Each structure stands twice: as structure tokens, then as C-alpha cells.
Amino acid sequence: MFDSIEGLPGLRRIYQQIDREARTFVEKTALKCPECCGQCCYTSSSNIEVTILEMMLPALELWRKGEALAIIDRLTKIFPDSHCIFFSPQEDPGNGSGRCSIYPNRALICRLFGISGNLDKYKKIRFSPCLWMQKEMPDQEMRLRRMLKSGLVIPVFSTYRYRVLSLNPLLASELYPINTALALALQRVGYYRQYKGTA
């Protein structure tokens, strides 16, 4: 079933490439998220926008583990401005992955936040630090900006967004709050299971 959903194998390859680039970024800059920080997730889920395609991987895993119906039930009971349903306020949800309960299958924005940049109006890459970096490491941020001018290459968010869109325009053309996207993905995987066999 995994291979029958258009775009998922390609999405995994994109995630693997981002993870490699993230490791290179940390090695070259010494900038990284504090362990078990989670500050970027202390926000309304409406501020974390993802596509249905990105939520298909966690949705598949939830159905496979028999946890999908419980998550669907939770999603119907939480407020629209609640934080991401995968975020754990505890320092370790028990999976060794900090505060994210789906860390290996986290979405594009979650992988790129704090280690990527965007193109300015002159098509030059501008580093987009998280608020913690801006506050706690202002000197390091300036150092990284100098490294960019000297040729350091970092992931560009918009480039990866377009790559994800090209994988499956039907499931990746629209952005939703992460909890909404998950609900839609769980629903779609449920249909796949019903009509095309179990995941």
C-alpha cells in the first residue's frame, strides 16, 4: 500500500536528503536546536501549515499500529488553536526523540525550521533562524550570515516546498493547519484500507 500512494516514496527520499543537509549544516555551523527544546511547537497548530501528503506517512503508521481511531477521536475534541497533536509537553514522550511523538515522520517545515533559509527579492538566500537562536545566539546568527556570503549552502524552504508539490499535486497543493491535514490524511488512509486492502 505504501508504494500505491503517489508521491510517498519520493517524499521519503526528500526527507532523507534534508536530514543529510541538516547534519552537514550542524557540522559546519555548530548551530542546532537545544535538546528537547520544543519552543517552535508551543504555538497554535494553525501556525504549522503542512500538506495532506506530508501527513500521509504518520497516518499510515497510526493505522498500522492500531492507533488511528483514537487519534481521530482526539482530533474531534481539541480546539482549533490547540498545539500539534504530536507535540508532547514532557521532555521525552518515551521514544527518545525529544518532544515530537512522530519525529522520524515529521513534516517538511518541522525538518527545515531553524536550519534553512528563504530567497529574498534579489534571489539571495537569507537564513531564517528560530526565535531561540535570535535571542540566545545573536553572535552565531551573524557569523552564519557571513558564512552564507562566503558560499555556505543551506536548504531553501521554498525549493523543497515545490519539490513536494511536484510529487502529488492533488495531495500537496494546499496547506492546512497540521491537525487538520492529519485528520484528512487519516480519513484518506482509512478509505485506502477499506477499498484497496490494509496498510
pLDDT tens-digit series, residues 148-188: 888 888 888 999 999 999 999 999 999 999 999 999 999 99
Q: Is residue 58 part of a domain?
A: yes
Please report, as a single letter, which amino acid is at residue 19.
Answer: D
Single pTM value for the model: 0.85
Is residue 56, in this structure, part of any structural domain at all?
yes
User: What total number of domains does the chain contain?
Assistant: 1
Amino acid at 100: C
Which set of grid coordinates corresponds to residue 28? 559546519
Is 114 within a domain?
A: yes
How large is the average pLDDT for residues 45-53? Answer: 93
Question: Tens of pLDDT along 72-123?
Answer: 999 999 888 888 999 887 655 444 445 788 989 999 999 998 888 888 888 7
Whether residue 64 is contained in a domain is answered as: yes
3-state helix, strand, coil in the chain (%, to 5): 55, 5, 35
Choice among 30-34, 49-53, 59-63, 72-76 with the minimum mean pLDDT: 30-34
The 10 Å CB-count burial string (b at 16+, else e) for 139-155 is: eebeebeebbeeebebb
User: Considering the domain boundaries, does residue 199 fall inside one?
Assistant: no
Q: Show the cell assigned to 24.
A: 552537514
Bridge partners for 49 per DSSP: 177
d(C-alpha 157, C-alpha 108), whole Å: 9
Q: Does residue 189 register a pLDDT over 70? A: yes
Q: Contact at 8 Å (CB) between 67 and 182?
A: no
User: Which range of residues forms the domain containing residue 161?
Assistant: 2-194
Q: Which of 25, 36, 7, 6 is nearest to 112 (CA)?
A: 25
Task: With a cut of 70, say whether residue 147 has pLDDT above it.
Answer: yes
- Whether residue 185 is contained in a domain is answered as yes
